[in-house]
Chains A and B, each alone.
Chain A
């Protein structure tokens, strides 16, 4: 249980840190938007602690992710940073889920990870495809951009299949 608590807090901290780092390094906005960003991330931190302590309350985990979304809406970030932030959110949500299950009954971590492998593979494939498509030069046509994204996703899928065979 303690490891689950640490996992929740750790993944939550990573999620907020990625969001804060991505937004902080983006082109600076005005002071008011920075203040709003700090406030949102503070609320997100409280929500992370709450979700870690009470994983059964799904609203707390949702609030933490919503704070990250609001931070990204307030400050545009690079596609890679956005993809990493999305993966960090997914990790946090899975950690909360693992903690919730572990509180009700013992969980075999290996079996649990194996059961969630399709989610991880799916996330990796779509994230790589989206990052590749969003990072394409503005001059490319939408069709070419989509093809690049699909190719990148397919390559990632093949890689995952080779790794998890």
Chain B
């Protein structure tokens, strides 16, 4: 009876509430570790920016580009995958290895490793060219084989 009343008010069982409150309490307690760090607001900003950057920027951008790709004139609906695969490979490697590609933080890299970031942009472009070429060759071979 009490349980049903709780569920109608809260929207789920008491275990649901307990689990979530525990996880939020842990987050609060963990955050207290850096409460004395004058830069903690920047940590929070980066935390929120990571979500906004993904959900509000990168995801809609990727979805938008994909929608445009799907509207391109094409022989078969799956042709779009020959663009998608190298494009996603290029985007993934660009985002994951961004500092080297755009030469960000080079003085620190030089101090830590004795090396510059010179080669990375060229290597990344080569990798993208390779992915595009492989995709184009596979497309060509499959089209030819279908005839």
Interaction A to B: no
